[in-house]
Amino acid sequence: MENKLILLAHGDGGRLTHELVTGLFLKHFGNDILARLTDAAALQLDGGRIAITTDAFVINPPFFPGGDIGKLAVCGTVNDLAVSGAEPRYFTASFLIEEGFPLADLERVVASMARTCREAGVEIIAGDTKVVGRGQLDRIFINTTGLGCLPPDRDLGYHRITPGDLVLVNGNLGDHGMAVLARREGFGFEDQIVSDCAALNGIIGELLRALRGIKIMRDLTRGGMATAAKEIAAAAGVDIWLEEQAIPVGAATRGAAEMLGLDPLYLANEGKFMTVITPEEAEDAVALMRAHPLGRDACIIGEVRAGRGNVYLKTALGGTKFLDMLAGAPLPRIC
Amino acid sequence: MENKLILLAHGDGGRLTHELVTGLFLKHFGNDILARLTDAAALQLDGGRIAITTDAFVINPPFFPGGDIGKLAVCGTVNDLAVSGAEPRYFTASFLIEEGFPLADLERVVASMARTCREAGVEIIAGDTKVVGRGQLDRIFINTTGLGCLPPDRDLGYHRITPGDLVLVNGNLGDHGMAVLARREGFGFEDQIVSDCAALNGIIGELLRALRGIKIMRDLTRGGMATAAKEIAAAAGVDIWLEEQAIPVGAATRGAAEMLGLDPLYLANEGKFMTVITPEEAEDAVALMRAHPLGRDACIIGEVRAGRGNVYLKTALGGTKFLDMLAGAPLPRIC
């Protein structure tokens, strides 16, 4: 390790991130809770069953079509709690700001956070602010930590996944990553593609209250849907077979991704989640999602089969493609 | 606010920080818990009484005499919980890293965090890593959020302070700020001054278990002892009278501060706390502290009198000086 340097890919949510987490953080910090590597850590504290998660947001630019770093910093942490089965409640917010950042922009960000908190039903109850000199940080970074309650009967986890389970998503993939990239690079189509940034605790709460057959949920952020599918397959020791033609991607994002040689399955989302569910309840779950504003394009995109942790994509042309985790960082700073 | 820009002083823990917190964050995020503006927020969650605090660490340089950004990121958050009366337990850690940062340096930081966690009896149970491009962040920033248990009988607070109470510190002031400044600017005396960076939950726990007369505790970080005294006086609606000759400052820090025209009372500490306590128990508290390795130079430095929120310093020459919050940022990025 002596001469190795941190690469952008160490932060892209793919293979090198995974190596950093297991080879460095787990090696030194190792404990039973952290070792589970879940979206939110579940713990007992003073009698209560709590979920906690933390996330840093460094998105560039801080204002983008469909949102801003403040909205994102709330939604991202709400969603990590929600997919773990927790009901998000209390948040901390920590601001890192570059000297010379306009106060009016800071107020826009803070007002956006406050609005998103109200919509998601969470409260910011502690915070911190640090200012660093010009050139020592790019405008503004935000860290949020979220606390939620874990209902006693919630039992999501890889151990519950079995062959035959179906795989669902709540809508079009790749819009967030493409919207941010388009705005940043000025490709000219930035008005057509809007980030899907949204707090998912409402729609997820409805699903979890109505259905018992949900095995696991994952939000599809860094690394996109494909990386999440690979992580689920590997952790559960099963294969996941996805149908390319069933996977929803919006026309504008599909077109832009083709033009740029990017795969929407690896682009980040900030308002999409994957659900693995028993086949008996899959149609009910799709119907419930479609009745919610954040699930109108929900659909079944694949199934779980016995296997050894691989993800396969049945292509539109009848072929089969092997999907691995994202490797390399084509799109840094998308969250 | 339209044309105003963020200044370094917005992050120095003094007057402008206070304005940002009350004028912007409280305005938008306002709720009962946040409005208390305590070192750690106390809340009820699923039956448990919990304290939570969050802190970003941007110290420059990341390695300094007496510590590093990793040790600091654990101690700072441990101390915020400890002075609020909580027993620190579970931590999250979020890393912001510049592309090209040496992996070996990251491992030094992570190993230091892990060692400090073990010493303080806390566990890191969730985390996040973001990498940004070269020049978009200065090496490494860390955010920690800490959760602690609040024993049911703990009742620290400004409301308990009354005239006659005494003011204590656990040792020499200003070493952290001066050690970091000396290392950063290369004044040549950096080997003589070592940061006091330490986890205070051990010594504070002993005091709280042994004595009932402790009214409030504060760790003396950004803004130093003087700013903390001013905040306590203002919040409690009393005056605090400090004896300059009683205030402990090490010879090397005193000499360096005089040379540079800095006041040790406004320099940051990372292993010092102020205690306001009934006069009956003050001597016991000093004795308890002096028996602990982190309290060998503990002493009484002043007293509470009826008043209107002012802090006065009785100088060695018999004069009286008025102490206000820190204003301006002579020393950015000391934590």
Name the residue of chain A whose CA is nearest to B54's CA. Answer: A127
**Which of A36, A54, A107 is the mutation pick for testing B, counting most B CBs within 10 A?**
A54
The C-alpha angle A169, A173, A177, rounded to 5 degrees, equals: 140
Query: For residues B287 and B283, what is the distance between their CA atoms, to the nearest angstrom?
Result: 6
Residue B190 has a pLDDT of 67
Q: How far apart are CA B86 and CA B79, in angstroms?
A: 10
Residues B139 and B70: beta-carbon distance below 8 Å: no
The pLDDT-based confidence of B38 (bands split at 50, 70, 90) is confident
Q: Which residues pair with B5 in a beta bridge?
A: A102
What distance in Å separates the CA atoms of residue A313 and residue B163, rounded to the nearest whole number? 74
Of B9, B41, B104, the CB nearest to A126: B41
Structure tokens at A135: 């050139």
Per-residue H/E/C for A256-308: HHHHHCCCHHHCCCCCCEEEEECHHHHHHHHHHHHCCHHHCCCEEEEEEEECC
Cis peptide before B61 (omega within 30 of 0): yes
Instruction: Name the one residue in this structure whose structure tokens are 């009742």.
Output: B155
Across the range B160-165, mean pLDDT stands at: 98
* Over residues B57-68, mean pLDDT: 96
Contact A333 B132 (CB under 8 A): yes
With a cut of 70, list the residues of chain A below it in pLDDT.
1-2, 46-47, 190, 328-330
User: Chain B: nearest CA to A144, how far in angstroms?
Assistant: 9
Strand partners, B146: B53, B91
| Residue A185: exposure state from Cβ atoms within 10 A (0-12, 13-18, ≥19) | exposed
> Hey, what domains does chain A have and what are their CATH numbers?
38-149 (3.30.1330.10), 158-323 (3.90.650.10)
Residue B110 reports pLDDT greater than 90 = yes
The CA distance from A236 to the nearest CA of chain B, in Å, is 21
The three-state secondary structure class of B151 is: coil
Residue B46 confidence (pLDDT) above 70: no
Chain A residue with the nearest C-alpha to that of B332? A132
A45/B332 touch (CB, cutoff 8 Å), yes or no? no
Start-end of H helices in chain A: 15-20, 26-29, 32-35, 69-83, 103-120, 175-185, 201-210, 224-236, 251-260, 279-290
CA distance A131 to chain B (A): 5
d(CA B85, CA B244): 28
- Within 10 angstroms of residue B329's Cβ, the number of other Cβ atoms is 22
Torsion of CA A290, A291, A295, A297, to 10 degrees: 30
Q: Is the pLDDT of residue B18 over 90?
A: no
Q: How many helices (H) and strands (E) does chain A have?
A: 10, 14
Name the residue of chain B whose CA is nearest to A131's CA.
Answer: B11
Q: Do B11 and A131 touch (CB under 8 A)?
A: yes
Does the structure show a pLDDT above 70 at B104? Answer: yes
Strands B123-132 and A140-149: unpaired
pLDDT-derived band at B146 (thresholds 50, 70, 90) equals very high
Of the candidates B59, B85, B54, the one whose C-alpha atom is nearest the C-alpha of residue B72 is: B59
| pLDDT over threshold 90, residue B42 | no
A171 sits in the region (left: phi over 0; alpha: psi -120 to 50; else beta) called left
Which pLDDT belongs to residue B1?
Answer: 52
Best interface-test mutation with A: which of B132, B153, B222, B326 has the largest number of A CBs within 10 A?
A: B132
Q: Could A99 and B8 be called an inter-chain contact, meaning their C-beta atoms sit closer than 8 Å?
A: yes
B-chain CB neighbours of A79 within 8 Å are: none
Contacts with B3 from chain A: Cβ below 8 Å: 102, 104
Spatial separation of the C-alpha atoms in residues A335 and A243, rounded to whole Å: 28
Q: β-pairing, B214-219 with B320-323? A: unpaired
**Nearest CB neighbour to A130, from listed B45, B58, B126:** B58
